[in-house]
Amino acid sequence: MSDSNDKILEIRDLDITFKTTAGPVHAIRGINVDLKRGETVAIVGESGSGKSVTMRAAMGILAKNAVVNRGSIIFRYHHQDGSEAEVDILSKDKKWIRSHINGKRMAMVFQDPMTSLDPTMQIGRQIMEDMIWHYKTPKEEARKRAIELLTEVGIEEPEKRMKEYPHQLSGGMRQRVVIAIALACNPDLLICDEPTTALDVTIQAKIIELIRRIQKERGISVIYITHDLGVVAKVADYVNVMYAGRIVEKGTINEIYYDPRHPYTWGLLSAMPDLDTNDERLYTIPGSPPNLLHEKAGDAFAPRNKFALEIDDKADPPMFQISTTHFAATWLLDPRAPKVEMPAELRAKILRMKHEAGLDDTPAPEERATGIATDADVREEGSAAGAVTAADGKASGNTSGEVSEGVKADSAAETKAADSAKSGEGGSADTGNSGAAGAAENEEGESHA
Amino acid sequence: MHKIDYSSAPLLTVEGLKQYFRISRTFTVKAVDDVSFKIWPGETYGLVGESGSGKSTIGRSVIRLYDPTAGKIVFNGMDISGKMSHSTEGNLRVQMQMIFQDPMASLNPRKTIGDIIGEGLDIHHTYKTRAEREEAIKNILLKVGLSPEHATRYPHQFSGGQRQRVGIARALIMNPKLIIADECISALDVSIQAQVINLMKDIQDETGTAYLFIAHDLSMVKYISDRIGVLHLGHLLETGTTEEIFSHPVHPYTKSLLSAIPEPNPIVEKKRVAESYDYKTSGIHYEDGTSHLVEGTHYVKCTDEEFKKWV
Ligand SMILES: Nc1ncnc2c1ncn2[C@@H]1O[C@H](COP(=O)(O)OP(=O)(O)OP(=O)(O)O)[C@@H](O)[C@H]1O
Ligand SMILES: Nc1ncnc2c1ncn2[C@@H]1O[C@H](COP(=O)(O)OP(=O)(O)OP(=O)(O)O)[C@@H](O)[C@H]1O
Ligand SMILES: Nc1ncnc2c1ncn2[C@@H]1O[C@H](COP(=O)(O)OP(=O)(O)OP(=O)(O)O)[C@@H](O)[C@H]1O
Ligand SMILES: [Mg+2]
Ligand SMILES: [Mg+2]
Ligand SMILES: [Mg+2]
Give the pLDDT confidence score for residue B67 in this predicted structure. 95
Residues in chain B within 8 Å Cβ distance of A48: 158-159, 161-162
Q: Which of A163, A171, A438 sits opposite B101 (nearest CB)?
A: A171
List B15's β-bridge partners, or say none. Answer: B72
Looking at beta carbons, which residues of chain A come within 8 Å of B161? 46-48, 227
Measured between CA atoms, the residue of chain A closest to residue B186 is A197
Give SS3 for B121: helix
**Ligand whose nearest atom lies closest to the CA of B159:** 1
Atom of ligand 3 minimally distant from the CA of B234:
14
A111: helix, coil or strand? coil
Asked if B226 reaches chain A (Cβ–Cβ under 8 Å), the answer is: no
pLDDT along chain A (449 residues), means of 10: 69 95 91 94 88 94 95 92 91 92 89 82 94 91 95 90 92 87 92 75 77 86 87 92 95 96 92 67 74 79 85 88 96 89 91 87 47 36 34 37 43 38 33 31 32
Q: Does B253 touch chain A (CB under 8 A)?
A: no
Residue B166 vs residue A366, higher pLDDT:
B166
Measured CA distances, A441 to A340, A436, B194 (Å): 19, 9, 15
Nearest CB neighbour to B23, from listed A112, A164, A170: A164
CA gap A402, A380 in Å, rounded:
19
Confidence at residue A76, expressed as pLDDT on a 0 to 100 scale: 94
The verdict on the CB of residue A53 being under 6 Å from ligand 1 is: yes
Tell me if A193 sits within 8 A of A109, measured CB to CB: yes
Q: Answer yes or no: do A288 and B145 touch at CB < 8 A.
A: yes
Q: Is A273 on the interface with B (CB under 8 A)?
A: yes
Phi and psi (nearest 5°) for B70?
A: -160, 165
A438 CB-contact burial (10 Å; exposed 0-12 / middle 13-18 / buried 19+): buried
**3-state SS, residue A53:** helix
pLDDT of residue A310: 83
Instruction: Indicate the residue type of B159.
Output: S
Distance A193 CA to ligand 4 centre (A): 7
Q: How far apart are the first and last CA of chain A?
A: 49
> Exposed/middle/buried for A362, CB within 10 Å: 0-12, 13-18, 19+?
middle
Best probe of the A interface among B265, B268, B271, B275, by most A CBs < 10 A, is B265
Q: Where are the beta strands (DSSP E) in chain B?
A: 12-24, 27-39, 44-49, 70-75, 78-79, 96-99, 178-182, 210-214, 227-232, 235-241, 290-295, 298-302
Q: Does A281 reach chain B within 8 Å, measured CB to CB?
A: yes
| pLDDT mean over B284-304 | 95
Between CA B35 and CA B8 the distance in angstroms is: 22
Does residue A155 sit in helix, strand or coil? coil
Which of the two residues, B260 and A221, has the higher pLDDT score? Answer: A221
Q: How many CB pairs under 8 A join A and B?
A: 205
- Judge contact between A441 and B195, C-beta under 8 A: no
pLDDT tens string B49-102 = 888 899 999 999 999 999 999 999 999 999 999 999 999 999 999 999 998 876
Task: Return mean pLDDT, chain B.
Answer: 90
Distance from CA of A84 to the nearest CA of B (A): 33
Q: Output the pLDDT for position A393.
A: 36
- Mean pLDDT to the nearest integer, B255-269: 85
Q: Does residue B215 register a pLDDT over 90?
A: no
Check residue B178 and give its pLDDT: 97
Architecture of domain B12-310: 3-Layer(aba) Sandwich (3.40)
Lowest mean pLDDT among A217-221, B42-46, B79-83, B143-147: B143-147
**CB-based contacts of A294, cutoff 8 Å, min separation 6:** none
Pairing of strands B235-241, B227-232: antiparallel
Residues A221, A35: contact at Cβ < 8 Å? yes
User: CB pairs under 8 A, 24+ apart, for B62-70?
Assistant: B62/B12, B62/B14, B62/B17, B62/B96, B62/B180, B62/B212, B63/B92, B63/B96, B63/B98, B63/B180, B64/B89, B64/B92, B66/B19, B68/B17, B68/B18, B68/B19, B69/B18, B69/B19, B69/B20, B70/B16, B70/B17, B70/B18
A119, burial (CB in 10 Å: exposed 0-12, middle 13-18, buried 19+): exposed
Predicted local distance difference test score (pLDDT) of residue B277: 82
Q: Does the pLDDT of residue B186 top 60, yes or no?
A: yes
Name all residues whose Cβ lies below 6 A of ligand 3.
A 167-173, 198; B 21, 29, 31, 49, 51-57, 101, 216
Instruction: Say how far apart CA B216 and CA A169 lie, in whole Å.
Output: 17
Do B103 and A112 count as a contact with CB atoms less than 8 A apart?
Answer: yes
Q: Where are the domains of chain B?
A: 12-310
For residue A80, the model assigns a pLDDT of 81
